[in-house]
């Protein structure tokens, strides 16, 4: 039978939160003297309300004590629950497939709704789920069908078009009481025989079977063993990467090493490399690291959480108005006004010089560990905690230029050395010329011999100085000659440029403006960086949001061209920030380039940023980022060719 709506239980159906649940129950029970309750007994209560679970585990029936247990559990869950909750491997694939088939998807659970969103919003767009009903949305918990019937009314669908999927007999009773079809899944502690005692459409060992017609089962493909051809491809890519990247003094590009890492990640995500026992042991040993990694991932998704509203009355020190909350509604001043101390000096200096506040600091931190999520939050309207993109970019470029002058002073020293050597060479030549002229007027052979000896010594010193100056400035002179030749070809010596320059110089005002623009644009790194942003914005729009791709799969996140421009401004600011951090340890050796990082580092940053921004897989982000760079290069070549054609056409007319 074809269903229009699929409603799921959460715990043990879509996700395994048993470790977090057991941990929270264990802390509360041991704190209150119930240390003899086993983990299995706690797991058997999953799916029931907290009051029912504590009553079953402790035998307590007093409502006040159960409410106190519940309050303690909530405090523990705020810390331990979400980091210790993981979705089953097939959950996301099944949910996305159902949505692509046109069905609507929702969650009905006794868990609090905000905890469900804490987990699901890490992997799916905010509007993916059509409805979520949590324990706080109903007055009577399952097996009462209140939550399930409420969801059916909100979605406006007939009961016969609804399938409820759960893992426990409580879920089966709920579906039976609501009069909707039920499908059981044996992810939890309830057996298939226990579920089969209730009316059901099917009993599944995996949610993958939900995608197959009744009577058929689908063999899970998530944990297939690694294939021989994949091992050969990995070995080939690794061998080419080693040959291409070593030795290091041959200017390696690490291109095939990136290909190797990308394919290795794909294989590890889709194939079973280790035996099940080894995987289980490794997961147990690495569990503390896994929990902290999940906590960091949650922090990346959420960003800075707004401070809770204070309910205590406060008198504003600025206007004297009494209010409750965090800010005075009359003048806007915060309630947390502090006395100035030495620890506030750095922040006050920055605010005085650069007009920056806490938003700028939070933006810099976010650019280091959650850049894509920062950009998406800003474009979707969550802007209170972040500074503007162009403001961030301009300040970081200014800080980078200042850092270069402080950390790499040898650039100016080398220029000074070249200038001093050239002055000494000129003086030596003058001295040699004077001695030679003096010899022409002297008749004394002894004096001439002394002058000849002095001339020989000065010529030797002149040869040494000339060789030193030439070695220091040969590269700079060759670069300047190439640039001057290019400039003469493009603008300097063409008929069109000569005609335009004469026309501008004939008007004094335009002449002053033109000279000012030339002085401002020459060597202006900020202008050069901003000039690249439109090209990258257009290339990103084509690569990630082309019409053909949007027709093939619905977009998770969609931005227009102007929003892509600001996204590129944030990425450029991130590159400048990382360049500043790498300057003191000598890893930024490209001080004169547009972006002071190697191209492969830039590619990794774009790859990571786009993966977070567009909520796509690493593999898809890799190829889309590569396509974006190709589009940007083609755009640049097209613009240069178009300008040259315009110049040639204008010169032919003149």
Domain ranges, ordered by start, for the chain? 5-11+85-211, 18-84, 224-272, 410-499
| Torsion angles phi and psi, residue 122, rounded to 5 | -70, -20
What phi and psi values does residue 181 have, to the nearest 5 degrees? -70, 150
Report pLDDT for 331: 85
What is the average pLDDT across 611-618?
Answer: 80
User: Do residues 508 and 514 touch, judged by C-beta distance below 8 A?
Assistant: no
How confident is the model over 505-560, as pLDDT tens digits? 676 766 666 666 666 555 566 677 888 899 999 999 888 876 555 554 445 567 88
**CA-based diameter of the chain, in Å?**
131
Superfamily of 5-11+85-211 according to CATH: HAD superfamily/HAD-like (3.40.50.1000)
pLDDT digits (tens, 9 = 90+) for 366-420: 899 889 888 988 887 888 888 889 888 888 888 887 777 776 655 444 444 444 5
Tokens 């110049």 sit on residue: 647
Number of other CB atoms surrounding residue 160 within 10 Å? 12
pLDDT of 647 > 70? The answer is yes
Q: What are φ and ψ of residue 127, in 5° steps?
A: -100, 15
- The pLDDT confidence band at residue 473, using thresholds 50, 70 and 90, is low
Q: Give 22's Cβ-side CA count (13 Å radius).
A: 14
The pair of structure tokens assigned to 514 is: 């033109």
How far apart are alpha carbons 610 and 612 in whole angstroms? 5
586, pLDDT greater than 70? no
CA-wise closest residue to 54 among 64, 140, 9: 64
Distance CA(642)–CA(654), nearest Å, equals 18
In this predicted structure, what is the pLDDT of residue 635? 92
Give residue 565's pLDDT band: very low, low, confident or very high (50, 70, 90): very high
- What band does 219 get if pLDDT is binned at 50, 70 and 90? very low
Q: Which two tokens stand for residue 521?
A: 């644009």
| pLDDT tens, residue by residue, 174-200 | 999 999 999 999 887 788 888 888 888
Query: Is the pLDDT score of 142 beyond 90?
Result: no
Does the pLDDT of residue 298 top 70, yes or no? no
Return the HEC string of 454-491. Answer: HHHHHHHHHHHHHHHHHHHHHHHHHHHHHHHHHHHHHH
pTM listed for this prediction:
0.58
* pLDDT of amino acid 630: 92
Q: Are 414 and 468 in contact (CB under 8 A)?
A: no
pLDDT of residue 553: 47
pLDDT at 147 over 80: yes
Query: For residue 572, which of 373, 371, 379 has the smallest C-alpha distance?
Result: 371
Cα–Cα distances in angstroms (integers) from residue 115 to residues 47, 51, 91, 112, 291, in the given order: 14, 18, 17, 5, 16
**Among the ranges given (36-50, 133-147, 159-173), the one the predictor scored with the smallest mean pLDDT:** 36-50
| 429-445 mean pLDDT | 71
Averaged confidence pLDDT in the chain? 77
Q: Could you say which architecture CATH assigns to the domain 18-84? A: Orthogonal Bundle (1.10)
> Crossing angle of helices 358-369/371-379, nearest 10°?
130
């Amino acid at each position: 039978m074809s269903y229009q709506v699929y409603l799921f239980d959460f715990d043990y159906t879509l996700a395994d939160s048993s470790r977090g649940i057991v941990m929270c129950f264990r802390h509360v029970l041991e704190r209150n003297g119930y240390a003899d309750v086993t983990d299995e007994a706690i797991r058997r209560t999953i799916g029931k309300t907290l009051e029912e679970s504590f009553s079953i585990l402790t035998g307590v029936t007093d409502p006040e004590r159960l409410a106190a247990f519940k309050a303690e559990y909530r405090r523990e869950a705020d810390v331990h629950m979400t980091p210790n909750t993981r979705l089953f491997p097939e959950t996301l694939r099944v949910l996305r497939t159902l949505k692509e088939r046109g069905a609507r998807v929702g969650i009905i659970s006794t868990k609090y709704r905000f905890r469900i969103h804490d987990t699901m919003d890490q992997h799916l767009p905010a509007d993916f789920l059509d409805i979520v009903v949590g324990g706080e949305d109903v007055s009577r918990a399952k097996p009462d069908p209140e939550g399930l019937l409420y969801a059916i009314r909100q979605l406006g669908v007939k009961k016969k078009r609804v399938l409820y999927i759960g893992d426990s007999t409580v879920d089966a009773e709920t579906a039976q009481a609501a009069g909707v079809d039920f499908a059981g899944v044996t992810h939890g502690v309830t057996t298939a025989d226990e579920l089969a005692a209730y009316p059901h459409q099917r009993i599944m060992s995996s949610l993958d079977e939900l995608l197959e017609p009744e009577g058929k089962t689908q063999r899970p493909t998530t944990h297939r063993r690694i294939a021989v051809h994949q091992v050969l491809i990995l070995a080939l890519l690794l061998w080419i990467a080693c040959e291409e990247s070593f030795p290091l003094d041959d200017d390696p590009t690490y291109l095939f090493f990136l290909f190797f890492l990308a394919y290795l990640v794909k294989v590890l995500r889709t194939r079973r490399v280790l035996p099940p026992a080894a995987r289980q042991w490794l997961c147990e040993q690495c569990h503390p690291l896994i929990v902290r990694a999940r906590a960091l991932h949650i922090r990346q998704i959420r960003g800075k959480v707004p401070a809770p509203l204070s309910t205590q009355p406060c008198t504003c020190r600025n206007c004297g108005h009494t209010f409750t909350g965090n800010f005075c509604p009359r003048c806007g001043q915060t309630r947390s006004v502090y006395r100035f101390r030495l620890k506030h000096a750095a922040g006050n200096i920055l605010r005085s010089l650069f007009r920056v506040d806490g938003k700028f600091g939070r933006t810099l931190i976010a650019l280091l560990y959650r850049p894509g999520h920062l950009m998406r939050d800003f474009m979707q309207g969550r802007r209170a905690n972040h500074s503007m993109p162009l403001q961030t970019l301009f300040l970081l470029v200014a800080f980078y230029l200042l850092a270069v002058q402080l950390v790499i002073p040898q650039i100016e020293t080398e220029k000074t050395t070249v200038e001093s050597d050239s002055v000494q060479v000129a003086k030596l030549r003058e001295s040699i010329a004077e001695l030679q002229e003096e010899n022409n007027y002297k008749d004394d052979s002894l004096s001439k011999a002394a002058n000849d000896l002095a001339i020989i010594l000065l010529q030797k010193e002149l040869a040494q100085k000339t060789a030193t100056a030439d070695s220091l400035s040969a590269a700079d002179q060759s670069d300047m000659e190439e640039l001057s030749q290019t400039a003469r070809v493009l603008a300097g010596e063409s008929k069109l440029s000569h005609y335009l320059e004469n026309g501008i110089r004939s008007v004094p005002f335009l002449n002053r403006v033109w000279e000012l623009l030339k002085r401002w644009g020459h060597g202006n790194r900020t202008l050069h960086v901003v000039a690249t942003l439109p090209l990258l914005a257009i290339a990103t729009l084509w690569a990630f949001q082309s019409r053909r791709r949007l027709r093939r799969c619905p977009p998770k996140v969609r931005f227009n061209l102007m929003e892509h421009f600001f996204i590129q401004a944030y990425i450029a600011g991130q590159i400048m920030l990382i360049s500043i951090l790498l300057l003191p340890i000598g890893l930024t050796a490209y001080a004169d380039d547009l972006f002071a990082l190697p191209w492969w580092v830039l590619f990794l940053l774009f790859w990571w940023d786009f993966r977070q921004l567009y909520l796509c897989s690493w593999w898809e982000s890799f190829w889309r980022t590569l396509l974006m760079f190709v589009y940007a290069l083609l755009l640049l070549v097209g613009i240069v060719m178009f300008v040259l054609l315009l110049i040639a056409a204008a010169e032919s007319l003149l």
